[in-house]
């Protein structure tokens, strides 16, 4: 029995029920009346649990109203608390006062699903722009997603700062660099930022709704396009979630497929980390590092294309396994490539460490303090740079990382929470990934690389968490009465980490914003869905 569910059982002995349709079995789903939804959060907070995700599902096709879900994480445990809401009064007590990340989750739930978080301090729509019709809720089953929406008049209310010398700088959605669109509004005094307000949603493509129109197999392609830079991690997370409810258990997936997935995942991690470290240095006007590191990155992408048929290894992972194997020659090629990359990488890290002008820019800049990071429940690199020891490869290991004795893993944790810490976590992770790739190549079990996976059982729910290069990616899938996709909830690490950026900026000078933003490098597409 898990610690979290035990705590809930003690607090609500009469009311607590367990939902056995949630898979895999180590993820416990508890059912509580909606009046207890926020109280449960209070109980779990006392046990130091973190909020991983919060979402709603329209269950009218399952003969119910709506349900709200909150997923908590504590150490190795995931616990989902579910409350049912009647269709005619879809309100529930807000968790925002207990858990800060619920602030954005609930704004989004209210905007897209039309469930009402009672007691939420700020119900401005999120992702749903002011020119959408007020009463349209795309995630509801009654909504026709194929029709274009009319535009209406409306205005977004920004947070305001007043006083002598305070001025505003609006930035975006079209940015100066080659990056995704989003809007940032700074209130500044002189050079110093007093407040930063983010506004995202520009790349909202209706991904979660689109999932519901696809078959389980086709949806794997969509999952690979939630965030193009994390295509492997998203495909693995989706596939694991499907596999958890498809009547198979994880161990029926061939061992070799798991190892190949890990190989792809670590290659994706290295490629992105190389690009990011270079880009951070470039934003501090140290272009040398960017060009050197993008050269290494390009080497990796070319090997990917040669061996796996795609530079980002897109569409190579699907429920049941992977679609491309590696030959003995391919193995040698990667080992040789790792040799070159590791050698050059170490030389460049030395240059980074010895450059005092660079150090000047990256140290003590954009600090996200550990206590704040904890309060915001951030994940991934951002969390590990701010003193939180989190990594699903260790704490919620998905295969093959669950073979501790074989795939040993070292997680770097820094406590300073500044730009340098986020760069350094990437540096150490790159080293670690190179080591893991070598290990995987030398120890990969032989055998088939995929099996046929049946459609998921009707009215079940699947769950998976995968450590992508940014951090923990969560997929929660619900199968409908006919076994179709009733709801697919995607929680990219960006959904929580963007709040971290907002909190790290005040007190910094305006010209340091690009540097800080790059060190977080969150996905706009993964957040906006």
Please give the residues from 204 up to 223 whose contact with other proteins meets the rule CB under 8 A: 204-207, 209-210, 221-222
The nearest distance, CB 312 to other proteins, in angstroms, is 6
d(CA 289, CA 385): 21
Half-sphere exposure of 277 (CA within 13 A, CB side): 29
Name which of 149 and 285 has its Cβ closer to other proteins. Answer: 149
Of the chain, the end-to-end C-alpha distance in Å amounts to 35
Residue among 35, 191, 350, 360 that touches other proteins (CB under 8 A): 350
The nearest distance, CB 233 to other proteins, in angstroms, is 13
The nearest distance, CB 226 to other proteins, in angstroms, is 7
Q: Which helix H or strand E contains 198, and what residues bound it?
A: strand 192-199
Q: Which among 283, 268, 191, 194 is positioned nearest to 230, based on CA atoms?
A: 268
Position 285 contacts other proteins (CB under 8 A): no
The nearest distance, CB 498 to other proteins, in angstroms, is 15
The nearest distance, CB 275 to other proteins, in angstroms, is 7
Number of amino acids touching other proteins (CB under 8 A)? 59
Position 169 contacts other proteins (CB under 8 A): no
Residue among 117, 275, 319, 412 that touches other proteins (CB under 8 A): 275
Name which of 8 and 489 has its Cβ closer to other proteins. Answer: 489
Q: Which among 31, 33, 30, 75 is positioned nearest to 52, based on CA atoms?
A: 75
Query: Cα 142 vs. chain centroid, distance in angstroms?
Result: 28
**Is residue 312 helix, strand or coil?**
coil
Q: For residues 476 and 463, is the Cβ–Cβ distance under 8 A?
A: yes
**Is residue 378 helix, strand or coil?**
coil
d(CA 521, CA 230): 12
**Is residue 26 helix, strand or coil?**
coil
Please give the residues from 315 up to 344 whose contact with other proteins meets the rule CB under 8 A: 344
Position 351 contacts other proteins (CB under 8 A): yes
Position 372 contacts other proteins (CB under 8 A): no
Binding mask 124-153 for other proteins (x = CB under 8 A): ---x-x------x-x----xxxxxxx----
Burial 492-522, CB ≥16 within 10 A → b, else e: bbbbbbbbbbbbbbeebebebbbbbbbbbbb
**Is residue 449 helix, strand or coil?**
coil
The nearest distance, CB 126 to other proteins, in angstroms, is 12
Position 494 contacts other proteins (CB under 8 A): no
The nearest distance, CB 95 to other proteins, in angstroms, is 27
- List of residues contacting other proteins (CB under 8 A): 127, 129, 136, 138, 143-149, 173-174, 176-181, 201-207, 209-210, 221-222, 225-229, 231, 275, 288, 291-292, 294-295, 297-298, 301, 305, 311-312, 314, 344, 347-348, 350-351, 354, 523-525, 528
């Amino acid at each position: 029995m898990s610690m979290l569910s035990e705590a809930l059982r003690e607090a609500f002995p009469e009311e607590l029920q367990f939902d056995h349709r949630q898979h895999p079995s180590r993820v416990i789903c508890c059912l509580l009346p909606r009046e207890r939804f926020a109280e449960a959060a209070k109980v779990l907070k006392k046990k130091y649990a973190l909020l991983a995700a919060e979402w709603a599902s329209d269950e009218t096709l399952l003969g119910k109203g709506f349900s709200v879900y909150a997923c908590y994480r504590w150490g190795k445990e995931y616990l989902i608390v579910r409350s049912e809401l009647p269709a005619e009064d879809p309100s529930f007590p807000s968790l925002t006062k207990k858990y800060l990340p619920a602030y954005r989750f609930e704004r989004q739930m209210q905007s897209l699903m039309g469930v009402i978080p009672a007691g939420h301090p700020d119900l401005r729509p999120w992702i749903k722009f002011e020119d959408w019709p007020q009463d349209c809720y795309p995630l509801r089953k009654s909504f026709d997603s194929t029709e274009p929406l009319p535009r209406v008049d409306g205005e977004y209310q920004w947070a305001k700062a007043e006083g002598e010398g305070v001025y505003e700088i609006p930035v975006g959605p079209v940015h100066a660099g080659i990056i995704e669109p989003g809007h940032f509004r700074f209130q500044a005094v002189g050079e110093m930022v007093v407040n930063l307000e983010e506004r995202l949603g520009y790349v909202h493509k209706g991904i979660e709704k689109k999932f519901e129109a696809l078959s389980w197999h086709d949806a794997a392609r969509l999952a690979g396009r939630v965030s193009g830079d994390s295509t492997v991690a998203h495909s693995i997370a989706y596939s694991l979630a499907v596999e958890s409810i498809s009547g198979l258990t994880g161990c029926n997936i061939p061992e070799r497929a798991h190892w190949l997935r890990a190989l792809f995942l670590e290659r994706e991690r290295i490629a992105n980390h190389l690009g990011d470290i270079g880009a951070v240095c470039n934003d501090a006007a140290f272009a040398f590092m960017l060009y050197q590191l993008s050269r290494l990155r390009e080497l990796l992408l070319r090997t990917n294309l040669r061996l796996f048929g795609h530079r980002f290894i897109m569409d190579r992972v699907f429920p049941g396994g992977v679609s491309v194997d590696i030959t003995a020659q391919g193995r040698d090629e990667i080992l040789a490539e790792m040799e070159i990359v590791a050698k050059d990488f170490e030389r460049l890290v030395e240059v980074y460490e010895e450059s005092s002008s660079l150090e000047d820019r990256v140290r003590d800049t954009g600090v996200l303090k550990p206590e704040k990071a904890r309060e915001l429940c951030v994940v991934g690199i951002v969390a590990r740079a701010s003193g939180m020891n989190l990594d699903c490869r260790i704490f919620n290991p998905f295969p093959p990382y669950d073979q501790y004795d074989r795939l040993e893993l070292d997680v770097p944790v820094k406590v300073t929470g500044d730009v340098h810490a986020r760069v350094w976590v990437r540096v150490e992770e790159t080293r670690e990934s190179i080591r893991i790739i070598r290990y995987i190549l030398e120890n990969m079990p032989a055998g088939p690389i995929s099996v046929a996976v049946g459609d998921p059982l009707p009215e079940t729910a699947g769950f998976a968490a995968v450590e992508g290069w940014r951090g923990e990616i969560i997929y929660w899938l619900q199968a409908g009465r006919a076994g179709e996709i009733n709801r697919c909830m995607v929680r990219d690490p960006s959904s929580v980490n963007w709040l971290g950026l907002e909190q790290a900026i005040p007190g910094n000078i305006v010209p340091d914003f690009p540097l800080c933003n790059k060190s977080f490098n969150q996905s706009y597409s993964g957040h906006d869905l």
